[in-house]
Amino acid sequence: MIRLLLVSALLVHSVAAAQPARIRGTVAAFDGGVLTVDSMGRKSAVRVSEETQIVVTQPIALSDIKSGDFLGVTSNRGPDGKLTAFEIRRFPKPLNPGHRPFDGRDDQTMTNATVSATVQAASGRELTLAYDGGAQKVVVPESASVSMLVPGSAADLKPGARVNLTAAGEPLAAQRIQVTR
């Protein structure tokens, strides 16, 4: 029985260690091999290699969003249940489609989906986003940040730049870094 518990604990630890970490914050420093990210006062050191994918957000106009585009939309959920976007990213290809809470919060969501319809509404433009198993309607006010991802490089990892990255291993190695200048 003790062996079974020990093996179970090791398996749980192995699965947890294999899960990529998500780190959001600002670049505190980058020496060409190690990126230091400040996330609300907590510093994380992450290795960056030639295998690390680096992308940069490039602002675009809301009118550049068309039916068939694949988007990542971060929204606030209002008391009435309606979604209002505060950040929209157009991706070059589908990435992790679906609708889920954002950062574990009930009042914010992330929808990665294909635009199936756009409508001009009284409160802004309304997008219908479709993914396997569902669809979401999201109002996009003028204040929403709208951008697309373009290839970046280590030169974009400058102090003060906002980053959103995934990393794995020990020590942490960055798999993908999204940079907002």
Please enumerate in sequence order all residues whose Cβ is within 8 A of that of 128, keeping only pairs 6 or more positions apart, or say none. Answer: 115, 116, 117, 118, 119, 135, 136, 137
8 Å CB contact between 176 and 24: no
Task: Write down the mean pLDDT value for the chain.
Answer: 88
Residue 95: what pLDDT?
85
61 and 43 fall within a common domain: no
Of 4, 22, 116, 101, residue with least CA distance to 65: 116
The domain that contains 166 carries what CATH number?
Answer: 2.40.50.140
> Quick one: tokens of 101?
């809470």
Task: Examine residue 14 and state whether it is found in any structural domain, yes or no.
Answer: no
99 and 128 fall within a common domain: yes
Reported as a pLDDT band with limits 50, 70 and 90, residue 19 is confident
Task: Examine residue 43 and state whether it is found in any structural domain, yes or no.
Answer: yes
86 and 119 fall within a common domain: yes
61 and 128 fall within a common domain: yes
Residue 120: what pLDDT?
81
> Quick one: tokens of 181?
């200048």
Instruction: Please say if the pLDDT value at position 14 is more than 60.
Output: no
CA separation for the pair 96, 69 (Å, rounded)? 14
77 and 135 fall within a common domain: yes
128 and 168 fall within a common domain: no
**Lowest-confidence segment of 8-12, 40-44, 49-53, 123-127 by average pLDDT:** 8-12
CB atoms within 10 A of CB 46: 23
Instruction: Please say if the pLDDT value at position 137 is more than 80.
Output: yes
How many domains is the chain partitioned into structurally?
A: 2
| pLDDT tens for each residue of 36-79 | 999 999 999 999 999 999 999 999 999 999 999 999 999 999 99
Residue 18: what pLDDT?
58
CA separation for the pair 17, 9 (Å, rounded)? 12
Instruction: Please say if the pLDDT value at position 84 is more than 90.
Output: yes
Residue 111: what pLDDT?
97
CA separation for the pair 137, 131 (Å, rounded)? 12
88 and 115 fall within a common domain: yes
Residues spanned by the domain of 106: 57-148
77 and 143 fall within a common domain: yes
